Amino acid sequence: MVRYAARRLLQAVPLLVGILTLTFVLLHLAPGDPTATYLTDNVSPEVVERTRARLGLDRPLPVQYLKWVGAFATGDWGTSYVGGEPAVAERIGAALPNTLLLGLVSLVLIFVLGGLIGVVQAVRQYGISDTTLTIGSLALYSMPGFWLGLMMQIAVSSSWWPDALSLPVSGIIDVREHPGMSPLQQVLDVARHMVLPTIALGLASAAGIARYMRGEMLEVIHQDYVRTARAKGLSERRVIFGHALRNALIPIASLLGLYLPLLIGGSVVVEKVFAWPGMGLLLYDSVLARDYPVVMAATFLFGALVVAGNLVSDLLYAVLDPRIRYE
C-alpha cells in the first residue's frame, strides 16, 4: 500500500504542474494590470514601469513562469502585491488553518448527518419518514450554498429570531470580547461562528450523501447474510448497524474524493458570504486584486488538497474492504 501511495503521489506531480500552468496563463490573459490595484491613479508612467520591473512583470511570460516555479520549489513563495507586500507564506499560513477547520467540520456534517438520514430512509422505505426525508433531501440538494447562507443570515438577523438562538453571521471570532476570554470561551466563540458557515457549506452535500446511503442500504439489507443475521434472532439495531451499515459504507467512502473538490470550490463563496478568514476568501480577494503570487500558491494548495483527498479515499476504501489490495 505504501508503494501504491508513493506512485499516486508521483503521478500527481504532472497534474499539479498542469494546474499551475493553466492558472498562470489565465491570470496573464485576463484584462487589467496588477499595478492598477497596487498604485494610485495619479502616478506617472515612469513609476508604473519601475513598479512592474520591481515585481518582475516586465519580463517575458515564460521567464516569469519559470522563475516563479523555481522559487516555489525551493520554498520561496514570493511576496503579495497588496497589503504592504507581506510574504505569501504568511498570508497562506494565517488562512489555511481556518479553511481546514471549516472543511473538516463540514465533512463530518456531510457524512455523519447524510449517512444517518440515508439509513433511516432505507429502514423506513416508502414510509412517511422516507418520503419526507426524500423531499427534504432533494430540496436541500438543489440549494446553492451561498443562497442558503444569505437566507440564514437574514433569518438570524431578523427581529423574530429568538435571542437564545442568536448566532454570529460573519467572521471567526468576536474581536471585541475574544482577547479577554478564557481558552474554553475562545473555543466556544469560534464554534458559534462556525455554525452557519458549516451548515451552508455542508448541508446540500449531506443531502446528496443521504441519497447515496439510502440506495446502498437498500441493496445491502436484502442480501443473504443480513437475512441470516435476522434468522439468528439478532436485534434489528445490531443487524442494521453491525452488519448492513459496515458493508454499505464501502462505496460511500469512495465519495470522499468526489465531494472534496465540491467542498473546496464551495468554500470560496461561503467564506466570502460569512467573511470567514480562510483560503477561499483569500483566493477570492486575490483574484480581484490580481495578486498573482497569492493566487498561484492558493491554487497549488487547493490542488494538493484534492489530490490528497482522493488518495485518502482510495486507501480508506481498502481499509473498509479487506478484499481490495493495492500493489
- 86 or 206, which is more confident: 206
Q: Read off the pLDDT of each residue in 185-190 and give the average, rounded to a whole number.
A: 86
Residue 302 belongs to some domain of the structure: yes
The winner for highest mean pLDDT among 20-29, 180-189, 265-274 is 265-274
Considering the domain architecture, whether residues 37 and 133 belong to the same structural domain is answered as no
Considering the domain architecture, whether residues 61 and 155 belong to the same structural domain is answered as no
* pLDDT at residue 36 is higher than 90: no
Residue 78 belongs to some domain of the structure: no
Residue 86 belongs to some domain of the structure: no
> How far is 261 from 267, CA to CA, in rounded Å?
10
Give pTM, 2 decimals.
Answer: 0.86
Residue 215 belongs to some domain of the structure: yes
Can you give the chain as a three-state secondary structure string? CHHHHHHHHHHHHHHHHHHHHHHHHHHHHCCCCCHHHHCCCCCCHHHHHHHHHHHCCCCCHHHHHHHHHHHHHCCCCCECCCCCCCEHHHHHHHHHHHHHHHHHHHHHHHHHHHHHHHHHHHHCCCCHHHHHHHHHHHHHHCCCHHHHHHHHHHHHHCCCCCHHHCCCCCCCCCCCCHHHCCHHHHHHHHHHHHHHHHHHHHHHHHHHHHHHHHHHHHHHCCCHHHHHHHHCCCCHHHHHHHHHHHHHHHHHHCCHHHHHHHHHHHHHHHHHHCCCCCHHHHHHHHHHCCCHHHHHHHHHHHHHHHHHHHHHHHHHHHHHCCCCCCC
Q: How far from chain centre, in Å, is Cα 306?
A: 9
Considering the domain architecture, whether residues 34 and 128 belong to the same structural domain is answered as no
Considering the domain architecture, whether residues 239 and 304 belong to the same structural domain is answered as yes
CATH number at residue 246: 1.10.3720.10
Considering the domain architecture, whether residues 131 and 31 belong to the same structural domain is answered as no
Residue 201 belongs to some domain of the structure: yes
Grid cell locating 196: 452557519
The domain in which residue 47 lies consists of: 2-73
Considering the domain architecture, whether residues 249 and 306 belong to the same structural domain is answered as yes
Residue 299 belongs to some domain of the structure: yes
Structure confidence by residue, pLDDT tens digits, 297-309: 999 889 888 888 8
Residue 81 belongs to some domain of the structure: no
Number of compact structural domains in the chain: 2
Q: Read off the pLDDT of each residue in 179-202 and give the average, rounded to a whole number.
A: 88
* pLDDT at residue 84 is higher than 80: no
Considering the domain architecture, whether residues 141 and 254 belong to the same structural domain is answered as yes
Considering the domain architecture, whether residues 48 and 119 belong to the same structural domain is answered as no
Q: Say what the pLDDT of residue 45 is.
A: 78
Considering the domain architecture, whether residues 126 and 28 belong to the same structural domain is answered as no
Considering the domain architecture, whether residues 62 and 111 belong to the same structural domain is answered as no
Of 44, 73, 102, which closes a domain?
73
Residue 80 belongs to some domain of the structure: no
In this prediction, residue 10 has a pLDDT band, given cuts at 50, 70 and 90, of confident
- 47 or 139, which is more confident: 139
Structure confidence by residue, pLDDT tens digits, 39-53: 666 777 777 788 788
Considering the domain architecture, whether residues 250 and 284 belong to the same structural domain is answered as yes
Considering the domain architecture, whether residues 158 and 305 belong to the same structural domain is answered as yes
- 85 or 46, which is more confident: 46
In this prediction, residue 178 has a pLDDT band, given cuts at 50, 70 and 90, of low
Q: Which residues, 6 or more positions from 178, have their beta carbon under 8 angstroms from its beta carbon?
A: 186, 189
